Amino acid sequence: MIEVSVVDDDRMLLDGIAAWFSSVEDVVLRARARSVDELFETGSPLAEVVVLDLLLADGSDPVHNVRRLVDAGARVLVVSVVPHGEQGIDVVSAGACGYLTKDHDLAVLADAVRRAAAGDNVHSPELAFAWCRTDRPDRPHLSGQERAVLLAYASGLTLSAAARHAGIRPGTAKAYLDRVKDKYTRAGRPTYTKLDLADRVREDGLR
Amino acid sequence: MRIAWRALIGETLVGRDPTYQVTRSGEERALRFIALLLILQRASYLVPTVIETGIANATYNSQLTNAVLLAVAVAWNVGLAVGVHRWGWFPRWTVGADVTLMCVLLAVSSVNHLSNEVFHNVNWASKLVWATAALVGAAVAPRWIPLVLLAPATAHLGMALVRFDAIPLSLDRLLNLLDSYFWWALIAYFMRRYLCAQGRALDQTTQRQLELNARRAAEQARFAERIAQYRTLHDTVLTTLTAIARGGLNHRTVEVRRRCATEADYVRRLIQQDASGTFNTLDARLSEVITAAESLGLRVHYLHDPLPADLPRGAVDGIADASREALNNVLTHSGTTEAWLTATWDSEVLLVRVVDRGRGFDENSVVLGFGIRSSIVERMHEAGGEATLSAMVHNGVCVDLVWPSAQISS
């Protein structure tokens, strides 16, 4: 059974998602809160997966929210009402395992939760689109095939169809998506101090 | 000369077309006007001379030499008039050529003259050099004007010195001669400076007015779009929410949830469109197409780059109509009620991709139907783009609409 906590500032949506997950056999809702602070204030251990609304009414920084939850040992899945590509990149670079919009149906969300719980990356067309279309100066270099797979997947193609579009095998396409996420995560790691820099060098050396 | 006259003046002086050349910039029109005056000045010296030469003229040693010199001067000036009509102004080389030619004409004509009145108006070349002085004043940088004018003055005085062993001019007449060069150059210089400045100021004012008009038109279009959006919001989201709020409507039924999802997608698109600030025809047309598809029961996920606002109308229509047909095909053939529409703009190439994850088909065994060939492929071809279709069994269909086509863009 996968335990999930949901953080969203809309009470109606919290109620709806609770009703939603009650119909999924292998997922149980452990806690719901309207902010990350409120979730921590409950004092109970965090669920293994936290579904976090990107923009909360308390005005908290989405990246900071993700880091707090990840540091506390949770796998974080970020959701938003409309696609916010750049912020989606930021939260995934900060450690969230995926970012998707709320317009997906229950089956997609439940599958995302299962992947997150299994420690897998959660890919979504909206995040793939943001990755391949961003023009931020610190974006990592992507190979031609990585970009082709990203754009194909962002366009709504299944992983198999995206792989065929790029002329590769489905398993390789998934590996490409994981590699792009890894590149962005590495590009998004903070290096505020020399110790951070040394950590990054050590991490890269261990890979 | 007549051809040059008509070519240069056109309809301007006869007043039949007061908007003659109104589409050109103010500075260009100012230059053309100054060029016209400079050519007319030359004509005012040459035409009477030609007439006088034709009647009788006993002031030159050799009438033939004079006629040849005059023919050269006329030919050069007619050529100059035609060239300036084509170029809009005097290229630098024409100024150099004109000064050189005037030096030669002055020298030969002065030698050919019977009397010692080589500086007098009866020596037509000494009048024509005023036109050269005016041209130099109008076309040469101010600091170079005295130096350039020194050439014809030197040729004129030098040849007189060679012929008469002295310059047959009193000091005051010599000053008058140089003075006339100077004033013609000065008048032309200030005429160009003032008229061109006025032309540029007029251009800037016109540009500001055009920008203002464009902004007003965009605001009006945006306002009209807003009104249309409010109407749609009233007829959809507001009506649905009001019905649920009143009670009595079971919002958990599949029909109500499907309608809510469709209307949420519509609001989502509005927010995306507003956030990206990319209100333009293609974006608006694709949104219309998606709204129409959603009214038939299809859910469409729409992701897009900021799209260009200046695509040709035919291209926008072709892409929007082909997208509509592609979404209709998803509804009709895919066996799903979900589609993705993605629009990207890369290196001046637009890609609109319509995708479903439905039953798909085997590309090798299925012949494309009339709808796809006619309504998508041929339509895109007519719009200057191209369409390709790929499919996999159980992995849906992908329709790529590319504009412009690779042949055109290359």
What pLDDT score does A107 carry?
86
**B344–A151 CB contact, under 8 Å:** yes
Across the interface, which of A156, A161, A164 has its CB nearest the CB of B301?
A156
A129 touches chain B (CB under 8 A): yes
Residues of B in contact with A164 (CB under 8 A): 390, 392, 395
Kindly list the distances between the CA atom of residue B99 and the CA atoms of B34, B106, B137, in Å, as whole numbers in the listed order.
18, 10, 12
B373 touches chain A (CB under 8 A): no
Pick out chain A residues at pLDDT < 70: 188-207
B283 touches chain A (CB under 8 A): no
**A154–B268 CB contact, under 8 Å:** no
What pLDDT score does B1 carry?
53
Tell me the backbone φ, ψ of residue A90, rounded to 5 degrees. Answer: -60, -45
What pLDDT score does B397 carry?
93
Distance separating alpha carbons of residues B21 and B12, to the nearest angstrom: 9
**B390–A103 CB contact, under 8 Å:** no
Residue of B nearest to A128 (CA): B303
Distance separating alpha carbons of residues A94 and A61, to the nearest angstrom: 12
Q: Smallest CA–CA separation between A139 and chain B, in Å?
A: 17
B356 touches chain A (CB under 8 A): yes
Residues of A in contact with B396 (CB under 8 A): 157-158, 161
Sheet holding A2-7, edge to edge: A27-33, A2-7, A49-53, A75-80, A98-101
Secondary structure in 3-state letters for chain B? CHHHHHHHHCCCCCCCCCCCCCCCCHHHHHHHHHHHHHHHHHHHHHHHHHHHHHHCCCCECCHHHHHHHHHHHHHHHHHHHHHHHHHCCCCHHHHHHHHHHHHHHHHHHHHHECCCCCCCCCCHHHHHHHHHHHHHHHHCCHHHHHHHHHHHHHHHHHHHHHHHCCCCCCHHHHHHHHHHHHHHHHHHHHHHHHHHHHHHHHHHHHHHHHHHHHHHHHHHHHHHHHHHHHHHHHHHHHHHHHHHHHCCCCCCCHHHHHHHHHHHHHHHHHHHHHHHCCCCHHHHHHHHHHHHHHHCCCEEEEEECCCCCCCCHHHHHHHHHHHHHHHHHHHHHHCCCEEEEEEEEECCEEEEEEEECCCCCCCCCCCCCHHHHHHHHHHHHHCCCEEEEEECCCCCEEEEEEECCHHHHC
In the structure, how many helices (H) and strands (E) does chain A have? 10, 5
Distance separating alpha carbons of residues B374 and B325, to the nearest angstrom: 10
**A125–B340 CB contact, under 8 Å:** yes
What pLDDT score does B221 carry?
77
Q: Smallest CA–CA separation between B281 and chain A, in Å?
A: 22
Q: Give Cβ neighbours of residue A46 (< 8 Å, ≥ 6 apart).
A: A5, A39, A69, A72, A73, A74
Q: Smallest CA–CA separation between A147 and chain B, in Å?
A: 13
- Could you identify the residue written with the tokens 């020194």? B150
Torsion from C-alpha of A62, A68, A72, A75, nearest 10 degrees: 20
Closest among B402, B315, B395 to B360, alpha carbons compared? B395
Give the model confidence (pLDDT) of B89-107 as tens digits.
Answer: 999 999 999 999 998 988 8
B55 touches chain A (CB under 8 A): no
A156 touches chain B (CB under 8 A): yes
Length of chain A: 207
Q: DSSP letters along A54-80, please?
A: SS-TT---HHHHHHHHHHTT-EEEEEE
Q: How many CA atoms lie within 13 A of A6 on its CB side?
A: 24
| Burial letters B371-408, b for 16+ CB under 10 A, else e | ebeebbbebbeebbbbbebbbbeebbbbbbbbbbbeee
What pLDDT score does B13 carry?
46
What pLDDT score does A110 carry?
92
Residues of B in contact with A158 (CB under 8 A): 357, 395-396
A22 touches chain B (CB under 8 A): no
**A164–B392 CB contact, under 8 Å:** yes
Residues of B in contact with A165 (CB under 8 A): 390, 398
A28 touches chain B (CB under 8 A): no
Distance separating alpha carbons of residues B127 and B301, to the nearest angstrom: 79
Pick out chain B residues at pLDDT < 50: 11-15
Size of interface A-B (CB pairs under 8 A): 61
- Bridge partners (DSSP) of residue A32 are A6
Q: Give Cβ neighbours of residue B65 (< 8 Å, ≥ 6 apart).
A: B108, B112
What pLDDT score does B282 carry?
87
Phi-psi region of B367 (alpha: psi -120 to 50; beta: other; left: phi over 0): beta
Q: Which pTM does this prediction carry?
A: 0.59
Q: Tokens standing for A95?
A: 């450690």
**A129–B390 CB contact, under 8 Å:** no
Distance separating alpha carbons of residues B301 and B341, to the nearest angstrom: 6
What pLDDT score does A35 carry?
94
What pLDDT score does B15 carry?
46
Helix (H), strand (E) at residue A6: strand A2-7
Across the interface, which of A103, A129, A157 has its CB nearest the CB of B265?
A103
What pLDDT score does B119 carry?
67
Across the interface, which of A81, A83, A161 has its CB nearest the CB of B395?
A161
B265, B355, B356, B393: best mutation site toward chain A, by most A Cβ within 10 Å? B355
Distance separating alpha carbons of residues B39 and B6, to the nearest angstrom: 12
Residue type, B169: L
What pLDDT score does A207 carry?
38
Residues of A in contact with B355 (CB under 8 A): 155-157, 161
Residue type, B88: G
Q: Give Cβ neighbours of residue B277 (< 8 Å, ≥ 6 apart).
A: B306
Strand A27-33 to strand B386-391: parallel, antiparallel, or no bridges (unpaired)? unpaired
Q: Tokens standing for B410?
A: 């290359």
Across the interface, which of B264, B303, B357 has its CB nearest the CB of A126?
B303
**Pair B319, B350: CB distance under 8 Å:** yes
Across the interface, which of B264, B271, B342 has its CB nearest the CB of A156?
B342
Residue of A nearest to B269 (CA): A82
B340 touches chain A (CB under 8 A): yes
Distance separating alpha carbons of residues A17 and A12, to the nearest angstrom: 9
What pLDDT score does B20 carry?
61
What pLDDT score does B372 carry?
81
How many other C-beta atoms can be found within 10 angstroms of the C-beta atom of residue A15? 11
